A and B are shown apart, each in its own frame.
Chain A
Amino acid sequence: MVAVNEISKCYGTLVAVDRVSFVLGRGEVFGLLGPNGAGKSTIIRMMTTLTAPDAGTCSINGLDVIREASRVKEIIGVVPQENNLDRELSARENLDIYARLHQVGDRETAVARALAEVDLSHRADDLARRFSGGMKRRLLIARALLASPEVIFLDEPSIGLDPQIRRQLWEIIRRARIDGKTVLLTTHYIEEAEALCDRVGILAKGRLIAVGSVDELKHTVGDYVTEYIGPDGRLVQHTVHSREEAHALAQTVDNGEVTVRRSNLEDVFIKLTGERIE
């Protein structure tokens, strides 16, 4: 179980994370959804021992992230937002060094298996700098999974990737979940959160403003949306709780085309924050 309790982090006068709390169950995929600068990466850095929180606590499978950092590092795998592979080392060397750092037994087999899992066996001896963006991401994921971590952190795993590679990554994450791993990922892609996460936490300006399953969150703000172009040329959206309510609302609009549809996470985000996620 992962438990985050009232963690905060400030950089000068900027409050990057403001008293955030949430709990993850074993085998759960949890997504932190929010725009750039919402504090997602800072939360991941605090949970993975890279950044010391100013206040609050965080524990992973009962181990305190600050006081028992070394033991926490044994059970987590991290896919950072930036590519932090050694560019001048091959894929195999990158994984071999990581396996040694994490004292993985039978390194050769573990590395070969990790490369096969992300379909990079044929490029094992190529330097990482020669890889495409998608291949680098897959290698980062293979590295994070190499030491069989119990909890995996993925910071914006599919940022900048084309849709096909993104779906390949989703498959890898789904397989990790089937293997019983607990997964925490950050994203600002609505469809990624909807496709992968059992529960989602919505972050805005460092604060966690809502947590729940996608359906729960949608239900909270309304399952249906009525939308139309207003007199000033701007899109007007109303979230309501039933189809009937949505259609009744549509009847009241005098002119122009009115759409009634089911709500999605983006509607939830807009309703809760007043902002559109970019």
Chain B
Amino acid sequence: MRPLSRNLAGSFTWYPVYLREMLLFKRKLLKVGYVFSAMVTPIIYLLVFGYGLGRSVRMSGTDYLSFLIPGLVAMSSMNNSYSWVASALNLNRIYFKTFQVLVQAPIPPSSIMLGEVLAGMTKGLFASSLIILVGLVSPAHFHISPFFATALLLNCFMFASLGVITGMLAKSHEDTSTYNNFIIMPMSFFSGTFFPVDTMPAPLRAIINIMPLTHTNILIRAQGFDGRTILALAVMAAYGLIFFAIGSRLIRGYSE
């Protein structure tokens, strides 16, 4: 029989996986380039679309900057949660072989998944917090509502889990860019980050409504509970759980 201390430790078997990622993340944060690279794209969008184009545009009954900032937070959290997990996991699996240390440890595959996803969420939240700070000091009508916080957390969970799937499936590091170009890039532009989805033609709207980020953008801008909000919440939760289950299964079935 295992001693009590080991059984208790067994409940947190995801923690070493998370801690490892955080130690590596801390090292990255000490490099100025990382913080800059995490911020540069959304800040450029903010300046170009928000302060440039946005001065003469109103969107969904509000000024464009107030419409844009939540969308940029959603996009930034998606990009960072997804990309860091997909890229790091793929490199660790194929090139550095450090993933093998996790697979050969006596912890369940779901713990590896949870540790990686929580680490991806942390990175996504860190990157989006920088945009949130910009939003809070900008003249936009921007505040953090419970819908905003829920959408942000679920978005990070959903895309970090998707990042694990990509990291496990991509056969090379170049392959992760292909996944990025086909999945993440279209979502960034079509899912309601820069303009309301309602303005798109009906056939395209049907495709857009399947995209997970579309539902993040609905929830993150929600002002109260209604049918759309509940649907967005349900869709995001479903996507998150499905991606998490697939990622866990891929880790469980890992074989070289």
Contact = CB atoms under 8 A, between A and B. Distances in A.
B16 to A, nearest CB: 4
Contacts of B104: 48-50, 73, 76, 78
Given A45-B256, A52-B255, A89-B23, A97 B100 contact: no
A105 B105 CA distance: 15
Contacts of B105: 73, 98, 101-102
A150 to B, nearest CB: 13
A70 B20 CA distance: 21
Nearest to B103: A50
A52 B20 CA distance: 27
B13 to A, nearest CB: 8
B207 interface: no
Interface in B107-128: 107-108
A88 B106 contact: no
Nearest to B96: A84
Interface string A93-130: 10001101111010000000000000000000000000
B101 A103 contact: no
A71 interface: yes
A101 B96 contact: no
Given A50-B255, A73-B105, A102-B106, A97 B97 contact: no
Nearest to B111: A101
Contacts of B6: 103, 105
Contacts of A73: 104-106
A267 B49 CA distance: 75
B10 interface: yes
Which 8 residue pairs of A and B lie closest in terms of their CB atoms, listed nearest first? A100-B16, A101-B105, A84-B97, A73-B106, A52-B255, A74-B106, A101-B16, A97-B20
Interface of B: 5-6, 9-10, 13, 15-17, 19-20, 23-24, 27, 96-98, 100-108, 255-256
